[in-house]
Chain A
Amino acid sequence: MKLTLKVWRQKNSKAKGELESYQVEASEHMSFLEMMDVLNEQLIVEKKSPIAFDHDCREGICGSCSMTINGSPHGPQSGTTTCQLHMRKFKDGDTIVVEPWRSSVFPVIKDLTVDRGAFDRIIQSGGYISVNTGQAPDGNAIPIEKDLASNAFDAAACIGCGACVAACPNGSAMLFTAAKVSHLNQLPQGKVEQTRRTASMVAQMDKEGFGMCSNVGACEAECPKEISIEHIARMNREYVASIFGGRKS
């Protein structure tokens, strides 16, 4: 299949980027990233600078790939990361616009690569549980109700890719933060630090300069792991509880 790609090219975070057009011959069995590899090989042969983009596992679990394809983070197929999106979802002769995540908190490093360090700092502020190291504990030592485990797992499916921020018209990171808060707060291992976690992760999220959720729902529509904004509601009520019921600080 013959495709026209319009790809965002930007030398560095300070440069002003623009869309550039390329022709590429791809097979419908390729993943989107493999098609990008083909294009890059072509550019290298032509002695042009290849397009920089993030990728790692290529099996939809690492959260590295981050392309806004035709205006949609991770492209047109719902519940799918860019690496798991296949070219059979496009038609021969299609023009595809590929852009980086758009958020002022995720500055472009080069081309389609953005700095998602803000997410790491939110995790550092409370996205963990404190346990003593030692031997692996028995998986069934702490009984956890199935519904609770499932709900926590739904939230834990978040791969931290940042598609929610890219999709949100407000540039809000509330779905990401809520997924982490909801995942850890619901389980007994995470309950211990619940109050402090919620307060400090929200504080860090605000400090990074993300926008505020207006319950538009674009994030859950675009999330490759289909995480529900129900988790944002949980974070909101736990945040209110953490402020009004937590320690005086």
Chain B
Amino acid sequence: MSWITSFFSSSIGRKVIMSLTGLFLITFLIVHLIGNLQLIAGDGGEAFNQYAYFMTTNPLIKFVSIGLYAMIVLHAYQGLVIYFKNKSAKGGKPTAKNKADVKWASKNMALLGTLILFFLIVHMGDFWFKMKFTDTIPLVTYDGWEPIKNLYQQVTITFDNPLFVVSYVFSMVVLGFHLWHGFGSGFQTLGLNHSKYNGLIDGIGKFLAIVLPIGYAIIPLYYYFVMR
């Protein structure tokens, strides 16, 4: 095996991949939220639709988005490999319960991650797939623009359905727990553990784990309870 493949199949190499892809996905979450908050700007979707057009046509964004899909796949794949390898390493659990002060989220990252993956599949089916590969989304024309797809309208239709609203909000709670452990854990895996900065890293992680899911959950809740 070459040194590079042996690194990526080593325990620490796998964890480094989890960490780097995970931290990249968190930066995506921040950008995605800022973009999507235009949905509740109250301008009938003009800003959001123009932004969506830019995001789906700009060559640089297209290039980065391919990287993003690869990161999602790699993070999910590596996570599953780690889960099964760890399960077989553990063998049996003690019959008596361990009372060590360990956070529930930290022990259940694989479960939380799988739920997020299911959410992503549904979510991308709702918007990304329809936007990119179908003509089901009606067109809208703004001053000085060629007709563009009215993704905003697709969002309003989706969040008319209480089932979608509930599952989206639930998924954001799951995301919160995943980030609660994930952000700090990513730094620890990379070896970035220092008593001077640990508090800051932990604080930013918890801030993101609360603010990002709330920010996202506001959108379906706003549509269902305020806009309808």
Task: Judge: A and B partners, yes or no.
Answer: yes
B-binding residues in A (CB < 8 A): 19, 68, 70-72, 76, 97, 99, 102-105, 166-172, 174, 202-203, 205-206, 209-218, 221-222, 229-230, 232-240, 243-244, 248-249
Kindly state the separation between the CA atoms of A230 and B91 in the bound complex, as whole angstroms: 26
Kindly state the separation between the CA atoms of A174 and B184 in the bound complex, as whole angstroms: 18
Contacts A105-B91, A214-B106 known; 4 new A-B pairs at CB < 8 A: A19-B95, A210-B89, A230-B193, A240-B191
- Asked if A216 and B102 make an inter-chain contact with CB atoms under 8 angstroms apart, the answer reads yes
Chain-A contact segment, one of B8-16, B44-52, B145-153:
B8-16
Interface residue ranges of B89-130 to A (CB < 8 Å) = 89-103, 106-107, 109
Tell me, rounded to whole Å, the shortest Cβ–Cβ distance linking B7 to chain A.
5
- Asked if A213 and B98 make an inter-chain contact with CB atoms under 8 angstroms apart, the answer reads no
Residues on the B chain within 8 Å of A168, using CB: 90
Residues on the B chain within 8 Å of A240, using CB: 12, 16, 190-191
- Asked if A72 and B91 make an inter-chain contact with CB atoms under 8 angstroms apart, the answer reads no
A97 contact from B90, B91, B96, Cβ within 8 A: B96
- Asked if A72 and B99 make an inter-chain contact with CB atoms under 8 angstroms apart, the answer reads yes
- Asked if A233 and B95 make an inter-chain contact with CB atoms under 8 angstroms apart, the answer reads no
Residues on the B chain within 8 Å of A238, using CB: 191
- Asked if A105 and B89 make an inter-chain contact with CB atoms under 8 angstroms apart, the answer reads yes
Top 6 nearest A-B pairs by Cβ distance? A237-B191, A104-B91, A233-B193, A211-B89, A171-B89, A71-B96
- Asked if A211 and B188 make an inter-chain contact with CB atoms under 8 angstroms apart, the answer reads no
Interface residue ranges of B166-195 to A (CB < 8 Å) = 181, 184-185, 188-193, 195
Tell me, rounded to whole Å, the shortest Cβ–Cβ distance linking A174 to chain B.
7
B86 contacts chain A at the CB level, 8 A cutoff: yes
A-binding residues in B (CB < 8 A): 3, 6-7, 10-16, 82, 85-86, 88-103, 106-107, 109, 181, 184-185, 188-193, 195
- Asked if A71 and B89 make an inter-chain contact with CB atoms under 8 angstroms apart, the answer reads no
Q: Across the two chains, which residue of chain A brings its CB closest to B100?
A: A221
Q: Which of B12, B15, B100, B185 has the most CB of A within 10 A?
A: B12
Kindly state the separation between the CA atoms of A209 and B16 in the bound complex, as whole angstroms: 18
Q: Across the two chains, which residue of chain A brings its CB closest to B187?
A: A233
Residues on the B chain within 8 Å of A102, using CB: 90-94
Residues on the A chain within 8 Å of B12, using CB: 202, 235-236, 239-240
A99 contact from B16, B91, B94, Cβ within 8 A: B94
Kindly state the separation between the CA atoms of A19 and B91 in the bound complex, as whole angstroms: 17
User: Assuming the A-B contacts A232-B188, A233-B192, are A211 and B90 also in contact, with contact meaning beta carbons closer than 8 angstroms in the complex?
Assistant: yes
Kindly state the separation between the CA atoms of A38 and B46 in the bound complex, as whole angstroms: 81
Q: Across the two chains, which residue of chain B brings its CB closest to A173?
A: B89
User: Assuming the A-B contacts A102-B91, A102-B92, A232-B188, are A212 and B82 also in contact, with contact meaning beta carbons closer than 8 angstroms in the complex?
Assistant: yes
